Amino acid sequence: MIQAQKGTKDILPTESYIWQDMEYKAKKIFSLANFQEIRTPIFEATELFARGVGDSTDIVNKEMYTFEKSERSLTLRPENTAGVVRAFIEHGFSRLPQPVKLWYKGPMFRYERPQAGRQRQFHQVGVEMFGSAEPSADAEVINLAVKYLNELGLNDLEIEINSLGCPECRKKYRDAIKDVLKPYLKDLCEDCNFRYEKNPLRILDCKVDSCKAIFEKDEIQKVILGDFICDDCKEHFDKVQEYLNVLNIPFKINKLLVRGLDYYNRTVFEIKSNNLGSQNAVCGGGRYDSLVETLGGPTTPAVGWAMGMERLFSLISKSEPNRLDVFVVSENTSEAMKIVEELRHNNFSAEFDYANRKFKKQLDKAAKSAKYALILMDDEIKSNTVTLKNLDTSEQINVPRSSYLEKII
C-alpha cells in the first residue's frame, strides 16, 4: 500500500471544515484592514531564497527541497515572504499608491524532523505591508495578527518584541556579540560556530541547552541586554511600543528575540500561546526594509508576519461539522432529485439517498446528518405536499409543496 510521505498529512473531511473556517476568518479580518490576497507559485528559482532568506539560515543550508529541471535550479517555497517580494517587484507594485497591503495562505515545504504542529509540507497564513517605514505600520500588522488569533478563539497570548536596529547600529552589536562569545566558541554547538562567522546575531536564536546556558553568563548578558541601537532606531521602537499601548495590546521586550531569517531589521516580534509546549510560537515577523532592494527592486520599507496553520489547528476548539439543512427521504428518486435541486437553488444544503433504501434507513441517515428530514413518499406526492420533520425537536408538519421553503429555519 502506498502511503502519504513522512512529514505530509491528508486533511480529511472531518478536519477540512475547520481549515475552511480558518481561511474564511483570515479573509474576513484582513479584508477589513484593506489587505488584498496574493497567490504566488509553489516553486521559485533557488536563487530567490538564497539571496532573500539568507545563506546563513538553517532553511537555506539544511531544509530546502531543491531540484534541477532544464539546467535550472528550482526550490519548493520554504516560506512566502521572498516570493511575495519577487511578485511585488515583477509586477511593478512600487508604482501603486503606497502602502501596498497583501495577505496569503498556502503550503510551504521544509525538510526537517516532523513533530507536533510541524510537517515537511505545512501551511502558512501571512501578511506583508510594503511602502511604509512608519512605526504605525509595525503596530498595524501586530494588531492584525492579534485580531486574527482572537477571531479563532485564541486569547491566552504573549507578545514579545525587540529591535534589531538598522545596519549601522546592528554592526556594532554584531561585533560586540562576537567579541564576548569568542572565548566560548569551543563550547558552542556546530551551528553556532557556523553562525558566528556568517551572522552572529542568529546565535542568540539557538535552542541547544548548553548554548543557552552560556548566554546566561553575566558578561554575555551585559552585551545581549545592552542598549546598542542608535537614536533613530530607538525613537522608532519607542513609537511602536506607544502605538501598541494605544491599541491595548500587552507586550514584553525580549532582547534575545532575533528571528531566524537574515532579512529582518528594526522591529521583530513573536506571538506565543501558553497552550503549547516548548515550541509555543504561533506567529513570527518583523520589519525587512532592505529585502525588496536586495532582490532587485527599488528601496522599499516593508513589514509582515507568518503563522503556521497546523499549530493554529492544534489550538482551536473543535466543533462538530456543519449539518445539512435538509435530507430528503423518498423512495421516488426522480422526485427526490427535483426537490433537492430546488433546495440547493434556494441556498439550502440538501442531499437524498442515492441507494434508494427503505424508509426507516433513510430516516436514520437523516437523523445523523441533517437538521430537517423532508419526507416525500407516495402520499405526499399524490397530495402535492411534503412532510417536514425537525430532527432536533421531533416536531413534524405536513405543508403544501408550494410553501415548504419558508418553514425551514
DSSP per-residue string spanning 348-365: --EEE-TT---HHHHHHH
DSSP state of 5: P
Rounded to two decimals, the pTM is 0.84
Q: How many Å apart are CA 94 and CA 98, to the nearest integer?
A: 8
User: 3-state class of 127 per DSSP?
Assistant: strand
Domains and CATH numbers, the chain: 13-166+229-315 (3.30.930.10), 324-407 (3.40.50.800)
Amino acid identity of residue 177, one-letter, is I
Q: What is the rounded CA–CA span in Å between residue 175 and residue 185?
A: 15
CA distance 282 to 149: 9
3-state DSSP assignment of residue 148 = helix
Q: Indicate the DSSP class of residue 60.
A: I
Q: Are 270 and 284 in contact (CB under 8 A)?
A: yes
* pLDDT value at residue 189: 87
pLDDT value for 203: 78
Residue 52 near residue 291, CB atoms below 8 Å = yes
Q: At residue 96, what are phi and psi to the nearest 5 degrees?
A: -80, 160
pLDDT < 50 positions in the chain: none
| Half-sphere exposure (Cβ direction) of 341: Cα atoms closer than 13 Å | 6
Whether the CA torsion 74, 78, 84, 85 is positive or negative: it is negative
Query: Within 206-320, where are the H helices?
Result: 209-215, 218-224, 231-246, 291-294, 309-315
Cis amide bond preceding 321, omega within 30: no
Are 300 and 324 spatial neighbours (Cβ–Cβ below 8 Å)?
Answer: no
Beta bridge partners of 183: none
Residue 123 and residue 26: Cα distance in Å, rounded? 13
Q: 562576537: which residue's cell?
A: 178
What's the CA gap between 94 and 75, in Å, rounded?
A: 26
The β-bridge partners of 75 are: 44, 66
Q: What is the DSSP string of 287-331?
A: E-TTHHHHTTS----EEEEEEEHHHHHHHSPPPPPPPEEEEEE-S
